[in-house]
Amino acid sequence: MISSHDFKQINKYLYEIPRSFRADMRVPARFYADSELQKAIQGDRSLEQLVNTATLPGIVKYALAMPDMHQGYGFPIGGVVATQLPDGIISPGGVGYDINCGVRLLATQLEKEEAAPYLEDLASALYANCPSGLGKGGHIKLKPGELDLLVVKGAKWALKRGYATESDLERTEEGGCLEGADPGKVSDRAKNRGQDQVGTLGSGNHFIEIDMVDRIFDEPVATRMGIFHNQVTVQIHSGSRGFGHQVCSDYVKRLQKTIQQYGFSLPDRELVCAPLSSPEGQDYLAAMNAAANYAFVNRQLLTYHIRRSFEQVLAGKVKNHHVYQVYDIAHNMARIEEHEVDGRRIKVCVHRKGATRAFGPGSSLLPGIYRDIGQPVLVPGSMGTASWVLVGTEGSMTQTFGSICHGAGRVISRSKAKKAVRGAKLREELEACGIHVRVSSMSGLAEEAPSAYKDVDRVIEVVHGAGIAKKVARLIPLAVIKG
DNA sequence: ATGTCC
């Protein structure tokens, strides 16, 4: 158990566990928090897991964790680990089971008052049109072999099939198409699971939410993103479904078999990994990129279903029911990037697990429309609470390999939440707050109770205060659709 | 997160 005696405070929101804490640490571990958020992680193993990641071969600078951190598979969720190429490691546990789980923000030209009479119908239409729930299949059937093309082309596949616009792709991280995706490195079982699940929400903490813009913090940046006070927006939180899950399972198993030949001694089996330069490392990277492209397409097809839903309910009733894309970000990924370490620019593999890329202004990897303001970052809160739009800063580039948090972060486990909360009662409470709820599983709803999560506003205060992101807008929920 | 065991 790691206590406050084991770490030192670097500044108001940053703490460090020095390398001397454990003989096997290659770099110090740093985490962002305030006193309240520190208390929230005392009940789990996330700090120990953070220290464990500091032992990984090839890690540079620091093992990092964001203020929403909590216990995960091997790596903490909210963890950021960069390893130096060519021989630093890549680890499936540093990405997570839901490869390219992420968030897409869509915006309308409607103000809340204009949409209010139709919210009930919009919630029902979204629930009817966007398949959700565990193992659920979708409306869009792929021809045999088409999935291989889909995972290579990503959002470009959706564009060609009429499910996306050029503007959507420009407003998606990496244009919604990662290079180096190879379906030949993906098992038939993963493909079978993914075959009919594209364009589906899933379960757990995945959701579609209608929100309104509650507060603007940076008017010029918000205007650039097309965001204004009182505006109705839509958020999608989903990932790569059974496809990505199976890719992760397959490679965890395969890499466990090859781990000993590289002579790594790991403090936890779940940190299973391979050098990026190895055949297994390269194969996982290619399979992970395929799963990431699958997830981009998944959120794109959900966007298509959302647009159909708005059309069905609002056509002829409001002057403009168009749904625009603001941005789409991944928060479970490993990416090869260049970063400055000890005054030199080097190539690293940045694992962001429950962490979001947040590049500062001027990055050549940002689309022209957003290059001068920094990368838009979308941070959903827990159900019924606020969500945030931010931008990356120069500070995120120097402190965290251009990364910030991904959400509120759990405080208690799913199983504990299920025991403590009754789904039906929670639904009543949300409806009493004026939030329309559509949900297929009441126990699933209980697992996602706001009381099971940290306070997202506090998490945002930390990343903003630490200078690794800048607040742009705060959103509050009007309707939530869950699996 | 996830056809919560192939």
pLDDT in tens, A212-268: 999 999 999 999 999 999 999 999 999 999 999 999 999 999 999 999 999 999 999
Structure tokens given for A427? 């639904």
pLDDT of residue A404: 98
Alpha-carbon span A120 to A222, nearest angstrom = 28
Which residues are A90's β-sheet partners? A274
Query: Which nucleotides along chain B are within 7 A of a protein C-beta?
Result: 1-4, 6
A381 is in an annotated binding site: yes
The model's pTM: 0.98
Whether A445 maps to a domain, the answer reads: no
**pLDDT band with cut points at 50, 70 and 90 for residue A43:** confident
Radius of gyration of chain A (CA): 21
What is the count of structural domains for chain A?
1
Whether A416 maps to a domain, the answer reads: no
Q: Which domain holds residue A52?
A: 8-411+453-482
Whether A105 maps to a domain, the answer reads: yes
Whether A423 maps to a domain, the answer reads: no
The phi and psi torsions of A354 (rounded to 5 degrees) equal: 65, 35
> In this structure, are residues A16 and A28 in contact, taking their beta carbons and an 8 Å threshold?
yes
- The CATH number given to whatever domain includes residue A75 is 3.90.1860.10
- Percentage of chain A beyond pLDDT 90 is 99
pLDDT of residue A1: 84
Structure tokens given for A265? 């001694």
Residue with tokens 């216990």: A71
Round and report the angstrom distance from CA (A150) to C1' (B5).
Answer: 30
| Strand A436-439 to A469-482 pairing | parallel
A380 is in an annotated binding site: yes
pLDDT of residue A25: 98
Round and report the angstrom distance from CA (A250) to C1' (B5).
Answer: 14
Alpha-carbon span A402 to A360, nearest angstrom = 7
Q: How many CB atoms lie within 10 A of CB A23?
A: 7
Whether A421 maps to a domain, the answer reads: no
Residue A406 falls in the annotated catalytic set: yes
Confidence check: pLDDT of A417 > 90:
yes
pLDDT of residue A483: 87
Whether A135 maps to a domain, the answer reads: yes
Residue tagged active-site, from A245, A321, A406, A464? A406
Smallest CA–C1' separation from A136: which nucleotide? B3
Whether A154 maps to a domain, the answer reads: yes
pLDDT of residue A52: 98
- b/e for A457-482, b at 16 or more Cβ within 10 A? ebbbbbbbbbbbbbbbbbbbbbbbbb
Task: Give the mean model confidence (pLDDT) for residues A470-479.
Answer: 98
A71 Cβ nearer than 7 Å to chain B strand: no
Task: Give pLDDT tens digits for A450-468.
Answer: 999 999 999 999 999 999 9
Confidence check: pLDDT of A144 > 90:
no
Going by C-alpha positions, the residue among A450, A448, A383 that lies closest to residue A418 is A448
**pLDDT band with cut points at 50, 70 and 90 for residue A210:** very high
Whether A427 maps to a domain, the answer reads: no
Confidence check: pLDDT of A181 > 90:
yes
A93 Cβ nearer than 7 Å to chain B strand: no
Alpha-carbon span A36 to A204, nearest angstrom = 26
pLDDT of residue A132: 95
A406 is in an annotated binding site: yes
A138 Cβ nearer than 7 Å to chain B strand: no
Round and report the angstrom distance from CA (A128) to C1' (B3).
Answer: 22
pLDDT of residue A99: 98
A189 Cβ nearer than 7 Å to chain B strand: yes
Task: Give pLDDT tens digits for A352-406.
Answer: 999 999 999 999 999 999 999 999 999 999 999 999 999 999 999 999 999 999 9
